[in-house]
Chains A and B, each alone.
Chain A
Amino acid sequence: MDRNSDTIFKIENLFVKIPTRQGTVHAVNGITLSIEKGQTLGLVGESGCGKTVSCLTALGLQKKHFRVKGKTCLNHREIHMLTPSEKRRVLGKQVGFIMQNPMQAFNPLITIEEHFRETIRSHKKASLSEVRKSANDLLQKVGLAGYEKILHQYPIQLSGGMLQRVMIALALILKPRLLIADEPTTALDTTLQSQIVKLFKKLKKNSDISILLISHDVDMIASIADKISVMYAGYIVEQGPTEEVISRPLHPYTKGLLLSRPRFSKERLHTIPGHPPSLLNLADGCPFYQRCFSSGPLCPSFSMDLQHCGNGHFVSCAYIDKSFDKHKVQEHGSPRDTVNF
C-alpha cells in the first residue's frame, strides 16, 4: 500500500456472497475502487447490480449472514481491523453516508432535530443551540432555508424530497472527508434533482471532500464525477476518467448504457436487449455475454479481469472493440427492442 498517495478510500477485491434459501446471491464479485482526496468517483449501474451492498459492506455494515472477502482502507487504515468503537467513531465523523431510501431512513418517533442531535453528540459535545445552529446552516445549504419548522417536525410530516435533503445535511454535518451518496437523486423530481446536482458541484468546489456517488443515472454521474466505474452484475466492467468513459466507452454494456439515455433527440432510443442476469447462483464468465452484440467463444469463460487500455481507462471484456459505433450497436438490437421517442 502506498502511504504517500492521496488515496482516501480504497476497496480492494471485494466479494460479497449472500446465502439465501434459493441459493447463493453473488452480489459483489471482486470489485476494486479507489478515491483520491478531493476526487469524485461515480459508480453507475442498473438497480440490483450490487452498488448498495458494495458500499455498505465496504464500511463493515453488512448484514450478519453475508459472506465477505476483500479489504477496505479508509485513510490507509483497514476498516475490518478497527475495533467496534474505533469503527463507530469513524462512521459519521470521517465518512458521511447518504442512504438510498430517505423515507425509511428516519426513526418515525423522533423529530428531525433529535436526529441531528444524535448524530452530532455521538461524536462530540455540543449544546442544543450549537446543534440547532449547525443544523440550520446545513439545511440552508441543501435548499431547505426558510423551513425553520423542519427541525421540530417528525419524519412522516416531510416529503420524500425534503427527507432526502435532510439526509444529505445529516451526512455532511460533521464535515466528513468522504461522502458516500447512494442514489441521492432517485427519490426526487427533476427540478430538485438538478438542485442536488448543483449542491454536489458546489461541495466539490468549496471543499476537498471526496465523494463516492452512486446512481443508475449516467448523465447525473457524468456531470459531477471525475472518474466513473461502471458496474454490472456485481462486477466493475469499465473504469476510467469521466471524459474517457463517456466519449470512448469500451465495454459493450457501457456503450449500450450510453445509447439508452434519453437526450431529447428524434433518434430512436436504444435499449439493451434481454434482462440483467439474476445474481442468484451466477455462473462464471462474463455476465453480459447473452445480451452482448459482440460476444464470442471466449466470453463464457472470461475471467472478468480489468485490462488497462491507456489514459487510465480499464475495461473487462474479452473482445475489446475500440470503436464506438452506435450504428453497429443499433443493428444488433432488434426493432422490437427499440422505443420510438
Chain B
Amino acid sequence: MTDLKFSFTELMQRKPALVSLVIILILVLGAVCAPLLAPHDPEYVELGRALLRPQTDYPLGTDHLGRCVFSRLLYGSRVSLGASSLVMICNISISLVIGILAGYKGGWIDEIFMRLGDIFLAFPNLVLTLVIVGMMGPGLQNILIAMVIAQWAWYARIIRGMVLSLRESNFVLAARVSGVPSFHILLHHILPNISSQVLILATLNVGWAILHISGFSFLGLGIQPPTPEWGVMLKDSRSYFWSDPLLMLFPGLMISSAVVSFNLLGDALKEIAGMKGNL
C-alpha cells in the first residue's frame, strides 16, 4: 500500500522515470497544442514539394505527397495518444467495475465473470485482436473495440486479485466489525488502496496501446490514410526507405520514445509501490 504523494517525490529521484515523464509531457503538450505549433496543414498535398530535406520551412522535411512531416507528427500524436488513452480508460474502467464486483461480492458473480474472462484469456492477445478486427473490418473505432475486448479480462483478473486480498485484510475486517456499510468500505478502504496499482496498470496499458494502434495502422487495419498517424506515416514511407530513410526514422522514433517512456514510467511506479512479479 503506498501513498500517491509519497510516490511522486520518490519518482522525481529516479532518472529514467523523470526523463520518461518529461518526454510524455512534451508529447502531450505537442498533441494538445498541435494547431498552434504545426507550421502547415498536415493533410495539405503539394506534389511539387515532395520529399524535401529538412529546412526552415519544413523542420523535418516533406513526405512523398509534399505534406509537412513535422505537422503530421504533431497531429499524429493527437491520434496515437488520444486513441490509446481511450483504450486505457475503457480497459481500466471496465475491468475496475468487473474486478471489484467479482472480488468484493464473490460468489456467482465472481464465478461468471472469471469463467468468461478465462475464455478471453485462452487466446493470445494479438491473435484475438486480429480476429475481432478481421470480423468487424478495419478502422480506428473497430481497432479500439477489439483491443478492449481482448484486454479487459486480463486487467479485471489483476484488479480482482487486489480487491480479494484487501477484502481479507484486517482493516477491512475492522471496518466491518464497527458496522461500516459495505459500499462505504468499497469506496473508502478498497478503492484508495488499489489506486496506486491501478495507476501503474494504466500507465503500462497506454504504452501497450500506442504500440498496437500504430502496429495495426501500419498493417492497414487501423487508422486509414490520409489521417496523420505514426503507424500510417511509417507505412507510407516504407517505399522511400532507401532514398529517404529520415521519413521512416521520425515516426519510428516517436512511437518508440512514447512506448518506452510509458513503460519506464510504469516500471518505476511499480518499483516504488514495491510490487513484485510481472504485470
Contacts and interface: CB of A to CB of B under 8 A. Distances in A.
A109 B193 contact: yes
Contact of B177 (A91, A110, A123): A91
A59 interface: yes
The 5 closest A-B pairs by CB, nearest first: A92-B179, A92-B178, A104-B170, A91-B179, A97-B177
Contacts of B109: none
Given A63-B168, A96-B178, 10 more contacts: A91-B178, A99-B174, A105-B173, A106-B174, A108-B171, A109-B1, A118-B188, A119-B180, A122-B184, A167-B174
Contacts of B106: 64
B48 interface: no
B177 A118 contact: no
Residue of B171, B174, B176, B189 with most chain A CB atoms under a 10 A cut-off = B174
Contact of B173 (A89, A99, A108, A122): A99
B66 interface: no
B3 A59 contact: no
Contacts of B176: 61, 91
B25 interface: no
Contacts of B182: 88
B124 interface: no
A97 B173 CA distance: 10
A170 B179 CA distance: 12
Contacts of A123: 179
Interface string A151-174: 000000000000000010011000
A88 B169 CA distance: 18
A118 B184 contact: yes
A56 B178 CA distance: 12
Interface string A170-193: 110000000000000000000000
B180 A118 contact: yes
Interface of B: 1, 3, 106, 168-171, 173-182, 184, 188-189, 192-193
Given A107-B193, A109-B1, A109-B192, A170 B171 contact: no
A107 B178 contact: no
B179 A89 contact: yes
Interface in A94-149: 96-97, 99, 101, 104-110, 114, 118-119, 122-123
Contact of B3 (A89, A109, A114, A170): A109
Contacts of A114: 188
B144 to A, nearest CB: 33
A103 to B, nearest CB: 9
Contacts of A61: 173, 176-177
A92 B192 contact: no
Contacts of B192: 107, 109-110
20 contacts: A56-B173, A63-B168, A88-B179, A88-B180, A89-B179, A91-B179, A92-B177, A96-B178, A99-B173, A99-B177, A104-B171, A105-B173, A106-B174, A107-B193, A108-B3, A108-B171, A118-B175, A119-B180, A122-B180, A171-B178
Contact of B175 (A59, A104, A107): A107
Contact of B174 (A63, A105, A108, A122): A105
Given A107-B189, A109-B1, A109-B192, A122 B179 contact: yes
A16 to B, nearest CB: 16
B1 A122 contact: no
Contacts of A106: 171, 174
Given A61-B177, A91-B177, A123-B179, A105 B184 contact: no
A253 B103 CA distance: 43
Nearest to B189: A107
A63 B169 CA distance: 11
Residue of A56, A91, A105, A109 with most chain B CB atoms under a 10 A cut-off = A109
A63 B172 CA distance: 12
B178 A97 contact: yes
Given A64-B106, A107-B171, A170 B193 contact: no
Interface in A54-76: 56, 59, 61, 63-64
A107 B187 CA distance: 12
A123 B170 CA distance: 21
B235 to A, nearest CB: 47
A93 interface: yes
B188 A104 contact: no
Nearest to B177: A97
Residue of A59, A88, A90, A170 with most chain B CB atoms under a 10 A cut-off = A88
Contacts of B1: 108-109
A203 to B, nearest CB: 18
A90 B179 contact: yes
B155 to A, nearest CB: 22
Residue of B173, B178, B179, B192 with most chain A CB atoms under a 10 A cut-off = B178
A123 B3 CA distance: 29
A79 B171 CA distance: 22
A93 B173 contact: no
Residue of A114, A119, A123 with most chain B CB atoms under a 10 A cut-off = A119
A96 B192 CA distance: 26
A91 B178 CA distance: 5
Contacts of A101: 170
Contacts of B184: 118, 122
A99 B170 contact: yes
A119 B179 CA distance: 7
A171 B178 CA distance: 7
Contacts of A122: 178-181, 184
A114 B169 CA distance: 18
